[in-house]
Structure 1
Amino acid sequence: MKKKILASIIPALMAAQAANATELAPVVVSDSAVQVEPNLMVKSEIEQAAAGTSDLVEVLADSPKISVNQAGGISGFPVMNGFADNRLNVQVDGMQLVASCPNHMNTPLSYVAPSQAESIEIYPGITPASQGGDSIGGSILVKTAEPFFAPNGEQLTQGEVGTYYRSNGNAKGANLEVTTATDKVNITYKGNYAEADNYSAASDFKTFSTTTSATAGTEFTDGTQGTSTAADEVAATAYKSINHQLSLALKGDDSLFKVSITKQSVPYEQYPNQRMDMTANESTKLNLEYEQDTVWGAVRLQAYSEDVNHEMAFMDYKIQMQMPMATESNTNGFKAATDITLSDNSLLTIGTEVQKFTLNDYWVANPASAGMSPNTFWNINNGTRDRYAAFAEWQAQVNEAWKTRLGARFERVQSDADEVQGYHDADTFTKPNGQTEVTNEQSEATAFNTVERARTDHNLSLTALASYQHSDNLAMDFGLARQVRSPNLYERYTWSSWTMPAVMNNFVGDGNGYVGDINLQPEVAYTLSANFDWHAADKKQWGIQVMPYFSYVQDYIDGVALSYTPDQFNVLQYRNQDARIYGVDVAANRQLGENTLGAWTAKAKLNYAQGYNLETNDRLYNIMPLNATLSLMQQMNRWRNMLEIVMVSAKEDVSLLRNELATPGYTLVNLKFSYALKDLRIDFGVDNIFNRDYVLPTGGVYTGEGRTMAINGIPMLAVPGMGRNLYLGLNLKF
């Protein structure tokens, strides 16, 4: 399929490239409002945060709209308006990729290092029809650098090299970028390396042994034991990642053609809130983009593909006989869009999108284990999820005060999966100690295999966005939308309720097991949002934004317990139930003045959210509690420094179904310093300067060590946050 797509599109792109006639000048309707146009994080903001983290999602958390559900060291989940993971439209250079893992370890943003991101567009709550679909909570669009070109007859070569070190977890990494360009051709290489050991909490948090059977559960017959960890060590937080990207750009008089090949290799990434660890993730992406200006607007074409080979197993801290798990996926996508200039003040965008996704998730038998043999366990066999979309969007400057953006998007989503099998051709197996364990594998596999598994969803999304400039000091933005997301393959086609495979299917790190439901309906979210933006006339002296939102989600995919025991982990099945999410985000800034120590500025942000399952009146899982961040910034000559105070309230509103843990409130103080010469940038700082103890409110349950395959028998603890961390980053441009 991939070869056919490329074979058909490359000649068309190259033919169009040869037919250029005028200077490249893309058509843009200029909108300044937050809801009509996105919040934008630019390179300087990304660079300021990049030295302190290897996870791009942690950089995103500087936005007033985004928080983080922590996972592995390079693959946290961004949260916006109470929505996360597949409920958000996350794209990297236009590719809306899909996590290929029963724990969603390889999320789209895990493939992009902070040093590789040039800008990030954030559409809170509502995604314009032209920017993507199959989501209900907003969009995050990450873009790498646009190619530059030399003046006519010249050639430019430039680059950047950087490195960093962080004391907590012995984290280290490096990045390299080299570009050579003429007036028509740009060739760029980008590379990134990141590695870390386990990080440490601020103090000892373990009151249990990590190697004795009394804590970990009955030992396996082979005497398997784990690696001992220190009492303050947060096990399974280590990672290693290597990224390469080679890109070529060709510039015509009024056109641009880009092709890039991206390769990621992750030898390991451990997870403190999952029962498994990533032991390999190999990804290869090919992305082709073409832009052509015309007398009536512009044309944009894109074709992309991704191949993923993903493996999971138990690393040293998890006392288990090995349970090898493999996931293979292929994604092929195509986009075509046309901008049509209707007048000086209005623009019509129409387009189409196709994405074909194939997934195999299988767990090879381990002959040494009676529980994991003699068959290969097929979690999902030849799962397919194909999307076919068409959209239209109209943007207009109605008058001096009003701007609007109205859109409609229709998607046909087709999913299917082949027959499955368990480890055993029976509903029970005999353990080495002679005991019999009931698995129901044969019965459940037979029930799955005999039903019609193909499903087709017809999803209509409608969006209406408007911006009103009331005065020089007040702008208002409003959004109203109906947005639809179809279930992913793991939500629809995972089939075994046996606790051992069920706990391996878990996106949220809550310790529970999950089973799919073929009959799930798409989620339909009705969202109302606003932004009231008061600011100085020059938009620099001061500003405050108040951003309330409300979403009612019909057929929200939550869970029901197949058998529920309080204060223990349980097996849940995905089920459609209605939900409500609402909240408000606040952002403020003020210039405080100048003195002999430089120019001073203050910033603040506050987030409040609530989420309810309307059928059970239970709280939705992993909603961030009330939190605020205060920042005092100083700029003096080449110095840019910041004192940051992060305050998070106690989490008491929790999901009873998932036995979600309540967490205490905390306050952290961070210091950040940056010094820039013409070509050299130095970043250093201290996070959690007072070494404060805290746990992550949305970090899930600590399953980083012990006998984690057993659904219960491990301590039910929240994942501790990182203790004091000193870091230093250097970047040199040449």
Structure 2
Amino acid sequence: MAGAQGVSGDEIGPALTSLPLADEAEASAALVTSASRGASAGPVAPAAVTLPTVVVTSLAPTAPLTVATDPRLPRQPVPASDGADYLKTIPGFTTLRNGGTNGDPVLRGMFGSRLNLVANEGAMHGACPSRMDNPMSYVAPETYDRLTVVKGPQTVLWGPGASAGTVRFERDPEYFEAPGARLHASALAGSHARNDQVLDVAAGTPLGYGRVSANRSESGDYVDGDGRRVHSGWNKWNADAAVGWTPDAETALELNAGIGDGEAAYAGRSMDGSRFRRDSFGLRFVRGGFDGVLERVQANVYDNRVDHVMDNYTLRDPDPMGSMPMPMASNVGRQAQGARVALAWAWTGVELEAGVDHQRNQHRRRNAPGVGMYLALPWVEDARFRSSGVFAEATVSFDDRRRVVAGARIDSADAKDQRLTTGGMRPQPNPTAGVTREETLQAAFARYEHEAERVPLAWYAGLGRTERMPDYWELFSPTQGPVGTPNAFAGVDVETTTQLDLGLHYKRQRFEAWASAYVGRIDDYVLFRYGTGTMAGMSRALNVDANIRGGEGGIGLRPAKGWRLDGSLAYAWGEQRGSGRALPQMPPLEARVSLAYEGMAWSAGALLRGVAAQTRTSLDEGNVVGRDLGASSGFGVFSVNGAYRIDRNLRLGAGVDNLFDRAYAEHLNLAGNSSFGYPADPVRIGEPGRTLWVKLSVEY
């Protein structure tokens, strides 16, 4: 492997750094180096490559409120086709489902821009007004080196908002101590014509490197547990390349670019996604190893563009009895450009990271009846956003066991409404045409972390507060705004979240247990209310005040050599203050129990996922994608996996998801579209029945 190693941009903070992700991840621990804060002391030390055989089924925290993992590790259920699918491995995450791929991630019942997504150090936004191409649909998890999640408003380093959490898919700059190369590749085949290929290769010398990461993922329509075919197939691909200059082990200047495209069928929508074009460009600089208190300088610029087409004729035939009896297509695009500069310092007992960031993004659209007729129309820009922020985050250590982490940021944000008309099929003059909304957003948090002296126990308590400007989907997608306002752009207020987070982690050699809990107050929570009957198809965005609470917990037990038993539990609760109504789109109680064995060459595992019934709903209320369809039933799904390590570089794994072919549907789900025979009364889309898969992985 000729000394390949990554130049890390962050490192796990001092608290809880001895706590493992899971046994299955330890073989790749050298690849998992980031968490929520801290300055890098330099590149990650190279380690021998040994492919893990145990499959990841659940992830424990690596630091307070932080989960970090290598997204290339094998996992069950079947390896993810998009970012949201992978996040489901982390307790507290669920997905708002719509069939096969491109579900929307939900953390602790919170959705959309309450989750701040950063991919390869840049912001990524979807363009569809209904989030058919949500940001995670452009992320191929296995092409990244690391996934880092910070839950709650407990970091200010990566942009405004982020009241639910921050999700970062990261690629590290490379460094080669001697001329050489490295390779990661995999191929997967499974039920329903599923086939995936992944390639990640890098080569270089001490002075520089080149890297190419690419993937392709394809699947046909799956069959649910009742034997019903679900319109759900997809075909997606991505390719990214980077070249870097590394004059020493502490310095990297990298230029990167990427493209991608695909198509996806949606059983819960009146259109499918026939184009998911992505073009990404970036330049970043990392410098460490300074003499004195300055430890690291990081800077990057990026330009991410998406071009998305939705139509009712490429992957289906128009429904003559539906709302779109003739061929229709809508083409939307969005460009996000930004820059970030951050410096890190360290004194005795104090670490500080501070910097500035800026982002601007533009949205445009065109649509027309007829096959491909939209291509003859010019683009029309309908929305523009900008934000500029300054941030600082510090860790003050009183001794080896006690510390305070705190941060603050302030952002100047604005949004411009460039629509001349609104109203869809019956356009009306837009009362806010040309209007610019300007907001000043503030965020701050403070967290105390403590490690006990005589027992292996660590605990923390943190209080955070953040203001979030309504996003594109909340300002421009609803047909109406709050009562008494001309539209959502003028009437929907800034959302403010104040949240207390508590947690502890206990670990001995053969047993560990962890728990995190939160309680919060959301002022001016942005909620969607959907029309019924003669008002069907109408949506109103408005503000309500809400209370939220919940938490996650888990245990890990090693009863004998090679064996591991894990369990996790996640619960989220929300209520609209004043009315006492449930906050919509809250996931039900979920538990996971897994048993795994790992020998020298062979491994095996089993996963039982149990989900309780959800009866606390708010009918016909929700978000831009989903609404509460009523109560849902509980279910249990059992899956098994096994693997054989052919040698230290080659691994063959296989699994069966939903072994007993259980018929079930997730609570957070879209209703099946009538084009596929679903009834007028909302019926959730069924999940895949028994699914077999086999995967070959290579690492050199």
TM more than 0.5: yes
CA deviation profile, 1:166-192 (whole Å, cap 9, x unmatched): 11x211121122221111111011111
Which stretches in structure 1 are left out of the alignment for 5+ residues?
A: 1-22, 205-231, 425-438, 503-514
Which stretches in structure 2 are left out of the alignment for 5+ residues?
A: 1-5, 17-60, 320-324, 482-486, 622-627
Secondary structure of the equivalent of 1:603?
strand
How far apart are residue 574 of structure 1 and its match? 0.6
- Is the alpha carbon distance of 1:113 and 1:386 closer, same or farther for their aligned partners in structure 2, counting shifts above 3 Å? same
Question: Larger Rg: 1 or 2?
Answer: 1
Partner of 1:548: 517
In structure 2, distance between residues paired with 1:26 and 1:381: 36
How far apart are residue 466 of structure 1 and its match? 2.0
How far apart are residue 73 of structure 1 and its match? 3.5
User: 2:559 aligned with 1:586, yes or no?
Assistant: no
User: 2:633 aligned with 1:664, yes or no?
Assistant: yes
- TM-score w.r.t. the length of structure 1 is 0.80
The residue type paired with residue 669 of structure 2 is G
Partner of 1:302: 300
- Is the alpha carbon distance of 1:589 and 1:655 closer, same or farther for their aligned partners in structure 2, counting shifts above 3 Å? same
- Tell me if the contact between 2:99 and 2:687 (Cα under 8 Å) persists in the aligned partners: no
Report which stretch shifted further, 60-69 or 243-252: 60-69
Secondary structure of the equivalent of 1:148?
strand
In structure 2, distance between residues paired with 1:541 and 1:117: 31
Partner of 1:199: 222
- TM-score w.r.t. the length of structure 2 is 0.84
In structure 1, distance between residues paired with 2:644 and 2:569: 29
Equivalent of 2:328, from 319, 323, 340?
323
In structure 2, distance between residues paired with 1:27 and 1:61: 24
The residue type paired with residue 142 of structure 1 is F
How far apart are residue 388 of structure 1 and its match? 0.5
Overall identity of the aligned pairs, in %: 18
Q: For this pair of structures, how many residues does the alignment match?
A: 627
Equivalent of 1:48, from 75, 81, 84?
75
In structure 1, distance between residues paired with 2:219 and 2:674: 16
CA deviation profile, 1:502-558 (whole Å, cap 9, x unmatched): 9xxxxxxxxxxxx7342221111001111122222xxx3111112111121111100
Equivalent of 2:653, from 668, 679, 683?
683
How far apart are residue 715 of structure 1 and its match? 4.2
- Tell me if the contact between 1:51 and 1:684 (Cα under 8 Å) persists in the aligned partners: no
Secondary structure of the equivalent of 2:117?
strand
The residue type paired with residue 203 of structure 2 is T
Equivalent of 1:729, from 678, 687, 695?
695
In structure 2, distance between residues paired with 1:523 and 1:156: 51
- Is the alpha carbon distance of 1:575 and 1:85 closer, same or farther for their aligned partners in structure 2, counting shifts above 3 Å? same
In structure 2, distance between residues paired with 1:423 and 1:89: 30
- Tell me if the contact between 1:625 and 1:650 (Cα under 8 Å) persists in the aligned partners: yes
- Tell me if the contact between 1:55 and 1:73 (Cα under 8 Å) persists in the aligned partners: no
Secondary structure of the equivalent of 1:722?
coil
In structure 1, distance between residues paired with 2:382 and 2:297: 35
CA deviation profile, 1:132-173 (whole Å, cap 9, x unmatched): 32221111111135413132xxx2123233211111x21112
Partner of 2:566: 603
Partner of 1:290: 285
Partner of 1:522: 494
Partner of 1:392: 392
Report which stretch shifted further, 95-104 or 630-639: 95-104
Partner of 2:50: none
In structure 2, distance between residues paired with 1:191 and 1:495: 37
- Is the alpha carbon distance of 1:24 and 1:176 closer, same or farther for their aligned partners in structure 2, counting shifts above 3 Å? closer
Partner of 1:208: none
Secondary structure of the equivalent of 2:86?
helix
- Tell me if the contact between 2:383 and 2:416 (Cα under 8 Å) persists in the aligned partners: yes
In structure 2, distance between residues paired with 1:45 and 1:200: 27
- Tell me if the contact between 1:517 and 1:573 (Cα under 8 Å) persists in the aligned partners: no
- Tell me if the contact between 2:188 and 2:695 (Cα under 8 Å) persists in the aligned partners: yes
How far apart are residue 35 of structure 1 and its match? 9.1
How far apart are residue 309 of structure 1 and its match? 1.1
How far apart are residue 383 of structure 1 and its match? 0.7
Secondary structure of the equivalent of 2:157?
helix
In structure 1, distance between residues paired with 2:643 and 2:371: 56
RMSD: 2.9
In structure 2, distance between residues paired with 1:86 and 1:664: 29
CA deviation profile, 1:384-416 (whole Å, cap 9, x unmatched): 010100011111212232122111110111100
Give the 5 Å matches for 1:21-420.
Answer: 30-33=13-16, 39-43=66-70, 46-49=73-76, 52-71=79-98, 73-151=100-178, 155-167=179-191, 169-204=192-227, 232-235=228-231, 237-253=232-248, 254-266=250-262, 268-293=263-288, 294-295=290-291, 296-314=294-312, 315-316=315-316, 319=319, 320-341=325-346, 343-366=347-370, 381-420=381-420
In structure 1, distance between residues paired with 2:494 and 2:422: 28
The residue type paired with residue 554 of structure 1 is D
The residue type paired with residue 254 of structure 2 is K
The residue type paired with residue 474 of structure 2 is E
Partner of 2:608: 645
The residue type paired with residue 233 of structure 1 is R
- Is the alpha carbon distance of 1:44 and 1:656 closer, same or farther for their aligned partners in structure 2, counting shifts above 3 Å? closer
- Tell me if the contact between 2:141 and 2:169 (Cα under 8 Å) persists in the aligned partners: no
Secondary structure of the equivalent of 2:662?
coil
- Tell me if the contact between 1:92 and 1:109 (Cα under 8 Å) persists in the aligned partners: no
In structure 1, distance between residues paired with 2:544 and 2:268: 26
In structure 1, distance between residues paired with 2:426 and 2:699: 61
In structure 1, distance between residues paired with 2:676 and 2:8: 59
- Is the alpha carbon distance of 1:256 and 1:189 closer, same or farther for their aligned partners in structure 2, counting shifts above 3 Å? same
In structure 2, distance between residues paired with 1:667 and 1:626: 12
The residue type paired with residue 30 of structure 1 is G
In structure 2, distance between residues paired with 1:36 and 1:157: 32
Partner of 1:559: 528
- Is the alpha carbon distance of 1:645 and 1:51 closer, same or farther for their aligned partners in structure 2, counting shifts above 3 Å? closer
In structure 1, distance between residues paired with 2:371 and 2:691: 44
In structure 2, distance between residues paired with 1:25 and 1:125: 24
User: 2:450 aligned with 1:486, yes or no?
Assistant: no
How far apart are residue 44 of structure 1 and its match? 7.3
- Is the alpha carbon distance of 1:414 and 1:396 closer, same or farther for their aligned partners in structure 2, counting shifts above 3 Å? same
The residue type paired with residue 172 of structure 1 is N
In structure 1, distance between residues paired with 2:615 and 2:7: 55
Equivalent of 1:441, from 423, 427, 450?
427
How far apart are residue 657 of structure 1 and its match? 3.4
The residue type paired with residue 328 of structure 1 is G
Secondary structure of the equivalent of 1:134?
coil
CA deviation profile, 1:335-383 (whole Å, cap 9, x unmatched): 0111122x23211211000001000133225599xxx99x9899x8431
- Tell me if the contact between 2:604 and 2:641 (Cα under 8 Å) persists in the aligned partners: yes
Report which stretch shifted further, 276-285 or 656-665: 656-665
